[in-house]
């Protein structure tokens, strides 16, 4: 059995909300590309960006520029649409993470419905994989969804930590953490690479980082928000330390 404890926990920094801030005034500042380069310098293992259908934050030209600028892997979050598939095949990111997308939602509210939607997802996953793009599915820690992801040949599942982070601290949040822990073990046993993300902060990261099957966390909103006060390098450094400390307990 592989020694999970030795696996480095990667930090993917999501820079969408640097673009949100830029778009508030419609100009060039602050630049999500500059943020990505700073994140890379501060120790991020990857950069994540979500090109939404409504282009509310990241724009097409940002994705092109990111791909050119960074030396670490680009994780391209996309809805399961023909338009986004074309974008992914044009950009050829390291990984494409398929997420559900509701036009009215403030953020990605729940995991992707994989079970029951195999006929729609299978050709998309095949085309991405044929282009050399690793395929990740953003799902709830639910056995049925994880099994469906494995059956479809996904390389990765990213477990949705939103409900865990939104739960009040205490037993309710711990129950959610146990659900994610079970999902991580289940997915790993199916041969899937396991990532996690959504809503993670200094307060909530440790109980997820401690799970040995999880090899990557994708974190955005909290880091960008906290960076307003102490800077991106500082918050990435603090998050990195918390992740490393938790990992030692795994
Ligand atoms: N992972 C996925 C698949 C997401 O859709 C998001 C939000 O774009 C994140 C991680 C990051 O979530 P947050 O911005 O709350 O840290």
Given a cut of 70, is residue 231 above it in pLDDT?
Answer: yes
Q: What is the mean pLDDT of residues 189-197?
A: 98
Q: For 211, left (φ over 0), alpha (ψ -120 to 50), or beta? A: beta
Predicted local distance difference test score (pLDDT) of residue 250: 80
E-assigned strand segments in the chain: 10-14, 46-50, 74-78, 95-98, 134-139, 156-160, 193-197, 214-219
The gap from C-alpha 22 to its chain's centroid, in whole angstroms, comes to: 21
Range in 93-107, 197-211, 221-235 the model is least confident about: 93-107
Structure tokens at 189: 């046993």
Whether the CB of 193 sits within 6 Å of ligand 1: no
Range in 6-20, 33-47, 137-151 the model is least confident about: 6-20
Whether the CB of 110 sits within 6 Å of ligand 1: no
Task: Select which of 17, 57, 195, 198 is catalytic.
Answer: 198
The rounded percent of the chain whose pLDDT value lies above 70 is 95
Q: For residue 165, which atom of ligand 1 is closest to its CA? A: 15
Q: Which helix (H) or strand (E) holds 127?
A: helix 118-130
Instruction: Please tell me what DSSP assigns to residue 6.
Output: G
CA of 3 to the centre of ligand 1 (A): 28
Q: What is the mean pLDDT of residues 21-38?
A: 97
Which residues is 217 bridged to in the sheet?
11, 196
Rounded to two decimals, what is the model's pTM? 0.96
Higher-confidence residue of 248 and 250: namely 248
Confirm whether 8 is a catalytic residue.
Answer: no
Task: Select which of 57, 77, 101, 188 is catalytic.
Answer: 77
Predicted local distance difference test score (pLDDT) of residue 100: 93
Given a cut of 90, is residue 85 above it in pLDDT?
Answer: yes
Predicted local distance difference test score (pLDDT) of residue 108: 62
CA of 1 to the centre of ligand 1 (A): 31
Distance from the first to the final alpha carbon of the chain: 16
Which residues is 96 bridged to in the sheet?
76, 135
Whether the CB of 97 sits within 6 Å of ligand 1: yes
Within 13 A of 30's CA, how many CA atoms are on the CB side?
17
Q: Is 176 exposed, middle or buried (0-12, 13-18, 19+ CB in 10 A)?
A: buried
Atom 4 in ligand 1: which residue has the minimum CA distance?
A: 198
Which CATH superfamily does the domain covering 2-248 fall into?
Aldolase class I (3.20.20.70)
Q: What is the mean pLDDT of residues 122-138?
A: 98
Whether the CB of 218 sits within 6 Å of ligand 1: yes
């Amino acid at each position: 059995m592989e020694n999970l404890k030795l696996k480095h926990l990667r930090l993917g920094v999501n820079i969408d909300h640097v673009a949100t801030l830029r778009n508030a005034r419609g100009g060039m500042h602050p630049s999500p590309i500059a943020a990505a380069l700073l994140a890379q310098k501060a120790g991020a293992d990857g950069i994540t960006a979500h090109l939404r259908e409504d282009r509310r934050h990241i724009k097409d030209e940002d994705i092109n520029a990111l791909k050119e600028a960074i030396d670490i892997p680009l994780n391209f979050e996309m809805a399961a649409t023909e338009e986004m598939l074309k974008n992914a095949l044009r950009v050829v990111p390291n990984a494409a993470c398929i997420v559900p997308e509701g036009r009215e939602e403030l953020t990605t509210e729940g995991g992707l419905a994989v079970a029951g939607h195999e006929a729609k997802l299978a050709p998309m996953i095949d085309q991405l994989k044929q282009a050399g793009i690793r395929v990740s599915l953003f799902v709830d820690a639910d056995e049925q969804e994880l099994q469906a992801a494995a059956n479809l040949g996904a390389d990765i599942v990213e477990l949705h930590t939103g409900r865990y982070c939104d739960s009040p601290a205490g037993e309710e949040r711990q129950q959610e953490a146990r659900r994610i822990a079970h999902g991580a073990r289940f997915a790993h046993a199916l041969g899937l690479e396991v990532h996690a993300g959504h809503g993670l902060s200094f307060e909530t990261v440790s109980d997820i980082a401690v799970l040995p099957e999880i090899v990557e966390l994708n974190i955005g909103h909290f880091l960008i928000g906290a960076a307003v006060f102490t800077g991106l390098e500082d918050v990435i450094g603090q998050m990195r330390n918390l992740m490393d400390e938790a990992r030692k307990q795994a």
